Structure 1
Amino acid sequence: MKQLALCVGINRFENLPMSSWLNGCVNDAEDLSALLGSAFGFADSSITLLTDQAATRDAVYGTLVEALDRANTPGEHLERILFTMSSHGTQVADTDNEEPDGVDEAFATCDLRQVGTQWDLESLIVDDELHTLFSRLPEGVLLDVIFDTCHSGSGLRAMDQLLLPDDRRPRFVPPPTPLGRDGTAVAGANTRILRDLVRTSSAVAKPVSLAACQADQEAIDANFDGRYNGPFTHFLLEELRSGAGASRADVVKRVNKKLRARKFEQIAQLEAPDPGKTTAWGTAF
């Protein structure tokens, strides 16, 4: 099988204070990329690993564009693309009036920076961009996406007061100023988060999305026996390493059972066509 993977993990952000840095995102990306080679047949040359300072907006989005270009190039015979992202999620004001709640969801890249009262749109990846890009997925190419990031629909001010143990923190960074927060704090339960975009990306080929939490929850960065990961990624890796060949739906059920057992409130989400839910992760349908 001819396949490409992009694994992104960002702990350190050029323009954010250290108090907003994370601990487990790089481990997520490195662990997932290692698993792809050892258990899922990815050649080293087919995996792009972008972490911390290498994971700029241009590098991440540019690599995704190249992958979709190759998928649409006759003679390439590309069968699978995998994209994993562990980072902060954030929100920006909708500029094209497409969102009912006036908010666009976004991934923070390492060069996230402020312009005026909001984040600079050239320093992050907005959901609309991924929607447009994933809509180019041709029939016969499998796109698996793993998001271990936070897209809260519960109100940004609540995030400021979130109380967690010292070894846990949310993977979410709000807009950089009080005025910017006022412009996006109207987000509610109907926020169109990235997993919803995957579900509706293409009338031809349907990507498969695994997301760390629901729209009104926080994806967490946590310590596991002295080493940090996202709990969702940590338990997902355990299930995929088991080699049991369980369906995608069963894998997510097992991950959520482990999240509950360890007192994590986030609930992992699977978005896929019905045949994709009943086949094993990484397999075509």
Structure 2
Amino acid sequence: MTQFDLICPNQIGSSLVGAHPGFQNFSLLGPAHSWAPSLPRRPPQEAQHFGHGAPSNYRFQYSDCTGRRKALLIGINYIGQPSKLLGCINDVSNMSVFLHEKHGYRREDMVILTDDQKNQLSVPTKANILRAMHWLVEGARPNDSLLIHFSGHGGRTPDLDGDEEDGYDDVIYPVDYRVAGHIVDDEMHDIMVRPLPPGARLTAIFDSCHSGTALDLPYVYSTQGILKEPNLAKEAALDLFTAIDSYGRGDLGSIAQTAIGFFKKATNGDSARQRTVMTKTSPADVVMFSGSKDTQTSADTFKDGQARGALSWAFIKALKNNPNQSYLQLLNSIRSQLDGKYTQKPQLSCSHPLDVNLLFVM
């Protein structure tokens, strides 16, 4: 997360457009053609069909979030490093207070990793982050409410297993990334999503650059509640425009990178989408709000008198203003907090097809 994208490599952008009708958040009231927003309803408790190309024998179950609560909060300012940030530790502090006061998370059920702590087990090294991710989901049961919040640097790396439509994996950077390396979305999915049973909720908030699909969740929703699908023809036109622009500026390196990215999308896009849906659809209830699209940066900014990450601030602000919102309303509320101030577009993704008009609970 940074306004200047200090360590996030420049990558070729991808574009997603709506392909399936979403649930409409309206009910007919009063005279004909008089419409008013309906109140969000709580999630159903019976098993749900996947649909949308997911394995036909799978079912998933929403969580009502009445079970045990656990949270993993990670904030990295990269103190003393060239790529330092200012607001990430504040994000974790604010999120901890918000979860405790507004959502009943006990302090003893939170693991907090920040790079200003003296205890070495509480420093967000790669080893400590991975250990804490395993702790978060250990022993998870139906209707548990688990939460991970990451505020720090993110980036992209070439996809090695063919499950990314644009040919790149999302990554997060631990405080010791220069020595230990980054953490890839595939690994985070395997640790925190794959082991969860039906009806267990994991809420993920990733306030970092290039975080749109940081948990490799297959179902991404637009602000109209429409399931997004890759549009390779539109992406080809954008890539062509980028190549022409790079040629005009004499940027031969960008031309080569654009060509490679287009080749990956043209040859792998559809098969990667199918692979992701078939292998990473989950019977659990995993929902993620990310700070930006895969191709965007996320801002380290100044809000309400202190340095903060833009998404972390907007998420808390939106829920404090109205605790009873649907998933779709919350996505739009978060976006409206940032609209006109930042270029980043927060994303909503899920491990299963989502009724976006259900009440957001955690």
TM over 0.5: same fold?
A: yes
Question: What is the DSSP-based 3-state SS (H/G/I as helix, E as strand, rest coil) of the residue aligned with 2:283?
Answer: coil
Q: Is the 8 A contact 2:149 2:204 kept in 1?
A: yes
Matching residue of 1:247: 326
The one-letter amino acid of 1:50's match is L
Q: Is the 8 A contact 1:199 1:208 kept in 2?
A: no
Q: Is the 8 A contact 1:102 1:186 kept in 2?
A: no
Q: Is the 8 A contact 1:201 1:207 kept in 2?
A: no
Change (3 A) 1:253 1:99: closer
Q: Is the 8 A contact 1:3 1:79 kept in 2?
A: yes
**Deviation, structure 1 residue 152:** 7.8
Question: Which runs of at least 4 in structure 1 moved beyond 4 Å after TM superposition?
Answer: 95-102, 152-155, 182-192, 197-200, 273-276
Matching residue of 1:6: 72
% identical aligned pairs? 28
Q: Which one of the candidate residues 123, 130, 138 is aligned to 1:69?
A: 138
Q: Which one of the candidate residues 60, 82, 88 is aligned to 1:25?
A: 88
Matching residue of 2:358: 279
Change (3 A) 1:282 1:91: same
The one-letter amino acid of 1:254's match is S
The one-letter amino acid of 2:176's match is D
Query: TM-score w.r.t. structure 2 length?
Result: 0.58
Distance 2:149 2:302 in 1: 20
Q: Is the 8 A contact 2:328 2:357 kept in 1?
A: yes
Number of residue pairs aligned between Structure 1 and Structure 2: 240
Q: Is the 8 A contact 2:292 2:298 kept in 1?
A: yes
Verify: 1:142 aligned to 2:201, yes or no: yes
Matching residue of 1:41: 104
Instruction: Extract unaligned runs of 5+ from structure 2.
Output: 1-66, 117-122, 213-237, 243-252, 270-275
Q: Is the 8 A contact 1:56 1:123 kept in 2?
A: no
**Deviation, structure 1 residue 40:** 0.2
Query: TM-score w.r.t. structure 1 length?
Result: 0.72
**Deviation, structure 1 residue 280:** 3.2
Higher RCO by CA contacts (8 Å cutoff, separation 6 or greater): 2
Matching residue of 1:103: 168
**5 Å matches for 1:51-200?**
51-52=114-115, 54-71=123-140, 79-96=144-161, 99=164, 101-113=166-178, 122-133=180-191, 134-151=193-210
Change (3 A) 1:282 1:244: closer
Distance 2:354 2:159 in 1: 34
List per-residue Cα deviations over 1:119-139 (Å, max 9, x = no partner): xxx432111101212111111
The one-letter amino acid of 2:99's match is L
Change (3 A) 1:81 1:149: same
Question: What is the DSSP-based 3-state SS (H/G/I as helix, E as strand, rest coil) of the residue aligned with 2:282?
Answer: coil
List per-residue Cα deviations over 1:232-274 (Å, max 9, x = no partner): 211211112235311121011012112114x211111111345
Q: Which one of the candidate residues 255, 265, 269 is aligned to 2:347?
A: 269
Bigger-Rg structure (1/2): 2
Tell me the C-alpha RMSD between the 2 structures: 3.4
Distance 1:225 1:56 in 2: 29
Verify: 1:219 aligned to 2:305, yes or no: no
The one-letter amino acid of 2:319's match is L
Q: Is the 8 A contact 1:199 1:271 kept in 2?
A: no
